[in-house]
Structure 1
Amino acid sequence: MSRTLRVGLTQWHPTADVETNLATAVDLVAQAGAAGADLVVLPENGLMLGTNVEMRARALKQNGPEIAALAAVAAEHAVPVVVGGMKNATPEGVYNSAVVIGPDGKVAGRYDKIHLFNARVNGQSFEASSVEQAGTTPVLLDLEQAVLGLTICYDVRFPELYRALALAGAEVLLVPSAFVHTTGRAHWHTLLAARAIENGCFVVAPATIRGGPDAGDAFQTFGHALVVSPWGEILADLGEDAAAVQVVDLDLGEVARVRSMLPVLEGTMPAAYAMAPERIRVMSNEESR
């Protein structure tokens, strides 16, 4: 019996204006729900994107009005929603959390981003650890149609997380992102295709897009919300210029078909990878005389 997951893929240009961002998010969820999506996934920092200082000062709350508004539209359309990553103020500190809202409008759980974007790109410093603290636990999302692995943006550069999720049963990997434009242009499509191919999974990656030259963005993001098949084919690419939503049908039978041809999960050897590598030294001509 065939299984299909209809995913609502989204992207838009967020700013520090939470109210405007939220209105866009609610509208796109409603559009995807009306189009029959089984799940809608929103990008990282889609509800608020600014400087580190701004994002920490305006961290949202999982039980706050923004999530309540998204929960209401999720319940209206009976569709689960993954808020792909928001600065989440908790009693334990601020996390970058992917919050899962069920089709009943109730918060079902969250994933806290494990790998923080502490990097320097074209002279600009991105010290995410000054805004948030790292999560420690991989998270799977069980839907009626499929098992999904939750990740966020910079996580995509750490393939061991995705392999762990796939080995635990993930058929679809979510990578909601606010990817820097420079690194996105160079790496975005390649990284997402690699995570799909090496695990035999679909990859669904909503994204934030950059504004115009006078937008005053803290940094420019790449857009190109993508869906990638387990074979590495790009099934949807929303470009980088406009807010958009597209409902994409994932034929989950493709996961089994690809994994039967290339059984990489069966062939993985974690015990070997944990061992310290042996070293072979080749002497120079001078040393061997």
Structure 2
Amino acid sequence: MKKLTIATAQYGLADILTQEQFWTGISAKIREAAESGAAMIIFPEYMTAHLLSVVPSMLHDDACHFLDQLTDEYVRFFTEHSRESNIAILAGTHICKEGEEEGEYANKAFLFFPDGRIETQCKVHLTPEEQIRWPLIAGDELNVFDTEWGKMAILTCYDIEFPELARAAALRGVELILCPSYTDSAYGYYRVRHCCQARAIENQLFVALSGLVGSLSEDRPQVDTGYCQAGVFTPCDLPFEADGILRVGEVNEDMTVLSVIDFHRLRENRERGAVAPFYDRRPDVYEHEHGKTQV
């Protein structure tokens, strides 16, 4: 199985004056990652919401409409950059129309491959704010997809806080979960961070986390500040480090964290680790106890 050199972005929110400035900044990060040897780069959740800073402040409904109007350009931009730089790009998440009803939008992740393939995943678990303030609908399906490095899935931010979804992915053969996130405080970040590490431990797989950092000088009701320390996490067991950290960045710095994911080491962990939580689970007990709690 091939090693994967992956770049996880701590994408810095900063004041920009034009949409062109936004796209130019993204191009530079993609080019830097590719020149550093990365075969994949992960950008954070709500990254394109940075573009809301170049227009007057608006309510969430109008913001969704504004961002959706950029979907064609978004897809074209990342399709071209993936092909030209020969790098897979998880282009964060983007708000776009989804469903059959007028005014329904999804928080949707797009993963672009150099050969033109695009894998997508709508966020399955919406936060209370996304349910109340944003006019968003939740995804109802987990997309597990094949890559040249093995099977992967995308769990966006709050999704990683639900162990059932990650377990479903692991049972379908996933060995790397990609987690684009947006958290605006240390509280939110550490909920996501610790759940990333828990999912890596209990399923004996890798989790790669990306997030927004920095802040805008003018408040925006959608996205105006971020808190993150991006990186890649492993099981807390041999042959990995005791803390389960493959690599992380500097807290809240605008930077890209480069890691080498060795799937052979994951196989070694699953075969010869001190514990085997992925294999030692007891579904018979869980199902029995679940039946007791039905109301």
TM-score by length of 1: 0.83
- Specify the alignment match of 1:263 in structure 2: 276
CA distance in 2, matches of 1:186, 1:78: 33
Which structure 1 residue ranges, 5 or more long, are not aligned? 119-124, 280-289
Match among 187, 207, 219 for residue 183 of structure 1: 187
What is the 5 A alignment of 1:163-242? 163-184=167-188, 186-211=190-215, 214-218=217-221, 219-231=224-236, 232-242=243-253
Q: CA deviation at 1:243?
A: 2.0
Q: CA deviation at 1:20?
A: 3.6
Q: CA deviation at 1:176?
A: 0.4
- Specify the alignment match of 1:122 in structure 2: none
1:74 and 2:82 equivalent?
yes
> Which range moved further: 59-68 or 248-257?
59-68
What is the 5 A alignment of 1:103-122? 103-104=114-115, 106-118=116-128
* Corresponding pairs, count: 270
Q: CA deviation at 1:271?
A: 4.6
> Which range moved further: 91-100 or 194-203?
91-100
CA distance in 2, matches of 1:196, 1:8: 18
1:30 and 2:31 equivalent?
yes
Q: Following superposition, which runs of at least 4 residues in structure 1 exceed 6 angstroms of deviation?
A: none
Letter in 2 for 1:83: A
CA distance in 1, matches of 2:125, 2:147: 25
Q: CA deviation at 1:91?
A: 5.6
In structure 2, the CA distance between the partners of 1:109 and 1:28, relative to structure 1 (3 Å rule), is same
Q: CA deviation at 1:127?
A: 3.8
Q: CA deviation at 1:61?
A: 6.1
Letter in 1 for 2:278: L
Contact 1:13–1:46 (Cα < 8 Å) also in 2:
no
Contact 2:64–2:96 (Cα < 8 Å) also in 1:
no
Which structure 2 residue ranges, 5 or more long, are not aligned? 53-58, 237-242
In structure 2, the CA distance between the partners of 1:126 and 1:48, relative to structure 1 (3 Å rule), is same
- Specify the alignment match of 1:285 in structure 2: none
CA distance in 2, matches of 1:75, 1:150: 21
- Specify the alignment match of 1:97 in structure 2: 108
In structure 2, the CA distance between the partners of 1:234 and 1:240, relative to structure 1 (3 Å rule), is same
CA distance in 2, matches of 1:221, 1:257: 36
- Specify the alignment match of 2:22 in structure 1: 21
Letter in 2 for 1:99: F
- Specify the alignment match of 1:132 in structure 2: 136
Q: Identity of paired residues, percent?
A: 21
Q: CA deviation at 1:251?
A: 1.1
TM-score by length of 2: 0.81
- Kindly report the root-mean-square deviation, in angstroms, between the aligned alpha carbons of the 2 structures: 2.6
Contact 1:116–1:129 (Cα < 8 Å) also in 2:
no
